């Protein structure tokens, strides 16, 4: 009996956790008549918002309108893809070798340098906001995607996650490869990357969820609306266009959920890697 | 467990002596090879983070208009600034409320899930899902929930209680706390479960042989063994708590109800006014606080290693 109560509570909590997804999918499948009736209370002064769990008259109209009639949606979506893709590519290009170097190198000041990396990874955006602004201004990169991509490509968080995984690659393997005459670069490419790939994927999954959701950086450094990613566009849709807002929200949600489902194991590994030293 | 470790140590020692003999060792001590791998990333870090931050540090001692050396004047200004005090106080209050709350709830959930339920994996996924939901897409839901005539008010109406425009009352603070817990519950549950999995099962077996009950096991084995995890999870939770600004900003804009006016709002508003002097001083102070936090975290890691 006690067990059942606990299970029920947990199930309730889990429902609260996933409810927003149901809300969005349901809303996006409603016709204009239905959602405006559901949300009517927010603009009038009687009654309360009542949202059904499933749409009574499901229709794909909102999607059709969004995908056919609002070209700006595609621009925003593409902006999001460009930003997240560019950042992840940069993090891969610079972060993976750096993590390998920290994990397997023995150069002087290695520990001190790594501490600097950890420090930087902990800084919230607002602390670095002014310095980011100064450097972008210097390079005339304000109001460009490249500026934002560059700032985040050198983020030290993925280096830290991947470091944890590279650290677990046995030294004996490296020695064996060296014995067979592999150069440092070859060791990295043929031993390090394959064995550290779970770490790389973990960092990329965490990174995608983070940057797909990026709000502060574009809000601060992008003035032109046509450069905005989806995450800034969504909150600005007015209540009268709730149908489009629902459909656009679902479209923004789908890539994130897809990455989440495909990479959940890696996501969990990545979360744990930041906290527990093996 | 111990035996395996001994074998590992032995292997390690053997390998090391072998390497010395043959002069082979992944990358040798004092060798710069590893550094070349770090170099591209490090150059970027210097150019995009370290140098500009030094500039910010310098600016924090300069006057806004004059650009001349004013010493600690800027720091005095921001500490006298009511907005800064309000924001710092709120941020502190937010941390003091939401961190213990999140730690407690997530620990409870982790303990139940650790009991090998049939649906552990499913439930864990459910709790992790909020991590994947873009903040922007839930803005609409937040509005529909906490509007004066929203779903929450409707629920209270059902219980014959009065509704309110929640985002414009002191309750706004608690809505923010709720958002934070909602978003981070799964993250912390995963961390706690990893901590729980690290406790050797034979400890429990030995205790059970000695006749210890469930509660005794919990108090004398589980909790003490989770202590190292507690430190790291706390600090990671604090770091994640800075991101709650996204929700706060998207739902309530630049000037939310004063109960949830956080340091992040203040920074944002100063940025729009281009108050470089105040911003740089506040950034330096914030960086200092975080620096202390990181030192704590590092000690926790070293502690966990022992």
* A212 neighbourhood in chain B, CB within 8 Å: 134
Domain B82-305: which CATH class?
A: mainly alpha
Taking only the tens place, the pLDDT of each residue in A25-63 is 888 888 877 777 777 777 766 677 777 777 777 888 888
Whether residue A208 is predicted with pLDDT greater than 80 in this model: the reply is yes
Question: Closest chain B residue to A269 measured between Cα atoms?
Answer: B190
CATH number (3.30.230.10, 1.10.3720.10, 3.50.40.10, 1.10.4080.10) of A72-275 reads 1.10.3720.10
Q: What pLDDT, on a 0 to 100 scale, did the predictor assign at position A277?
A: 58
Q: What pLDDT, on a 0 to 100 scale, did the predictor assign at position A155?
A: 93
- Asked if A171's CB is within 8 angstroms of B25's CB, the reply is yes
Q: Does B162 touch chain A (CB under 8 A)?
A: no
Looking at chain A, the whole-number percentage of residues with pLDDT higher than 90 is 38
Q: Where are the domains of chain B?
A: 82-305
- Asked if A105's CB is within 8 angstroms of B35's CB, the reply is yes
Distance CA(B252)–CA(B256), nearest Å, equals 5
Q: What pLDDT, on a 0 to 100 scale, did the predictor assign at position A136?
A: 93
Closest-CA distance of chain B to residue A81, Å:
14
Q: What pLDDT, on a 0 to 100 scale, did the predictor assign at position B304?
A: 56
| Reported pTM | 0.86
Q: What is the mean pLDDT of residues A132-148?
A: 93
Q: What angle do CA A201, A152, A247 make, to 5 degrees?
A: 75
How large is the C-alpha radius of gyration of chain B?
Answer: 25
236-295 in chain B: CB under 8 A from chain A: 236, 239, 242-243, 245-246, 249-250, 263-264, 267-268, 271, 276, 279-280, 283, 286-287, 290-291, 293-294
Mean pLDDT score across all residues of chain A:
87
* A113 neighbourhood in chain B, CB within 8 Å: 38, 42
Choose among A124, A253, A268: nearest Cβ to B137: A253
Whether residue A186 is predicted with pLDDT greater than 50 in this model: the reply is yes
Q: What pLDDT, on a 0 to 100 scale, did the predictor assign at position B5?
A: 52
Distance CA(A257)–CA(A275), nearest Å, equals 24
Taking only the tens place, the pLDDT of each residue in A8-23 is 888 899 999 999 898 8
Residue A89 — pLDDT band, cuts 50, 70, 90? Answer: very high
Q: Where are the beta strands (DSSP E) in chain A?
A: none
Q: What is the mean pLDDT of residues A242-260?
A: 88
Choose among B15, B134, B236: nearest Cβ to A212: B134
Q: What pLDDT, on a 0 to 100 scale, did the predictor assign at position A203?
A: 92
Judged on CB neighbours under 10 Å (0-12, 13-18, 19+), A76 is: buried
> Between the CA of residue B37 and those of A81, A181, B79, what are the distances in Å?
28, 19, 43
Q: Does B196 touch chain A (CB under 8 A)?
A: no
Closest-CA distance of chain A to residue B156, Å:
10
Q: What pLDDT, on a 0 to 100 scale, did the predictor assign at position B29?
A: 55
Closest-CA distance of chain A to residue B192, Å:
9
Q: What pLDDT, on a 0 to 100 scale, did the predictor assign at position B186?
A: 92
> Between the CA of residue A120 and those of A160, A178, A194, B190, B291, what are the distances in Å?
11, 34, 28, 24, 9
ipTM: 0.86
Cα dihedral sign, A53-A59-A61-A67: positive
Q: Which residues of chain B have pLDDT under 50?
A: 1-2, 10-11, 14, 17-26, 306
Choose among A105, A172, A234: nearest Cβ to B37: A105
């Amino acid at each position: 009996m006690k067990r059942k109560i606990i299970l029920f509570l947990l199930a309730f909590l889990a429902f609260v956790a996933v409810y927003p997804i149901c809300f969005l999918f349901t809303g996006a499948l409603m016709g204009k008549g239905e959602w405006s009736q559901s949300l009517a209370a927010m603009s009038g002064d009687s009654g309360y918002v009542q949202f059904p769990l499933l749409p009574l008259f499901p229709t794909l109209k909102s999607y059709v309108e969004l995908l056919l009639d609002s070209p700006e949606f595609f621009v925003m979506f593409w902006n999001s893809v460009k930003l997240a893709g560019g950042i992840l590519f940069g993090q891969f290009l610079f972060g993976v070798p750096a993590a390998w170097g920290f994990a397997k190198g023995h150069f002087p000041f290695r520990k001190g340098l790594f501490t600097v990396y950890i420090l930087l990874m902990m800084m919230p955006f607002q602390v670095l906001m002014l310095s980011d602004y100064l450097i972008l201004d210097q390079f005339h990169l304000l109001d460009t995607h490249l500026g934002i991509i560059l700032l985040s490509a050198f983020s030290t968080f993925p280096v830290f996650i991947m470091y944890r995984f590279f650290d677990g690659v046995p030294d004996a393997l490296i020695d064996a490869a060296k014995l067979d005459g592999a150069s440092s670069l070859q060791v990295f490419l043929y031993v390090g990357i394959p064995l550290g790939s779970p770490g790389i994927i973990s960092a990329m999954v965490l990174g995608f969820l983070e940057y797909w959701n990026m709000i502060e950086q574009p809000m601060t450094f992008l003035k032109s609306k046509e450069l905005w990613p989806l995450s800034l566009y969504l909150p600005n849709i007015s209540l009268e266009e709730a149908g489009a807002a629902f459909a656009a929200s679902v479209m923004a949600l789908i890539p994130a959920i897809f990455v989440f489902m495909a990479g959940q194991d890696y996501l969990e590994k990545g979360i744990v890697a930041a906290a527990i030293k093996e | 467990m111990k035996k395996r470790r001994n074998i590992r140590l032995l292997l390690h020692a053997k390998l090391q002596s072998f390497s010395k003999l043959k002069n082979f060792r992944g990358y040798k001590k004092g060798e710069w090879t590893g550094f070349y791998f770090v170099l591209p990333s490090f150059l970027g870090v210097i150019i995009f983070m370290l140098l500009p931050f030094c500039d910010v540090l310098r600016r924090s001692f300069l006057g806004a208009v004059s650009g001349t050396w004013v010493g600690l004047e800027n720091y005095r200004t921001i500490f006298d600034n009511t907005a800064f005090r309000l924001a710092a106080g709120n941020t502190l209050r937010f941390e003091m409320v939401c961190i213990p709350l999140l730690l407690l709830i997530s620990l409870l959930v982790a303990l139940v899930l650790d009991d090998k339920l049939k649906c552990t994996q499913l439930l864990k996924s459910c709790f992790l899902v909020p991590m994947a939901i873009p903040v922007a897409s839930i803005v609409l839901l937040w509005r529909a929930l906490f509007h004066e005539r929203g779903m929450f008010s409707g629920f209270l109406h059902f219980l014959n209680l009065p509704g309110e425009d929640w985002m414009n009352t002191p309750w706004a603070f608690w809505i923010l706390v709720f958002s934070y817990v909602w978003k981070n519950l799964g993250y912390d549950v995963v961390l706690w479960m990893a901590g729980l999995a690290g406790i050797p099962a034979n400890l429990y077996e030995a205790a059970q042989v000695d006749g210890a009950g469930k509660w005794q096991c919990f108090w004398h084995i589980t909790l003490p063994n989770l202590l190292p995890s507690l430190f790291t999870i706390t600090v990671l939770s604090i770091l994640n708590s800075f991101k709650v600004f996204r929700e706060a900003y998207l739902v309530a804009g630049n000037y939310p109800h004063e109960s949830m006016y956080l340091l992040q709002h203040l920074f944002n508003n100063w940025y729009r006014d281009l108050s470089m002097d105040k911003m740089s001083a506040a950034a330096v102070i914030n960086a200092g606080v975080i620096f202390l936090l990181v030192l704590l975290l590092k000690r926790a890691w070293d502690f966990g290693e022992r």
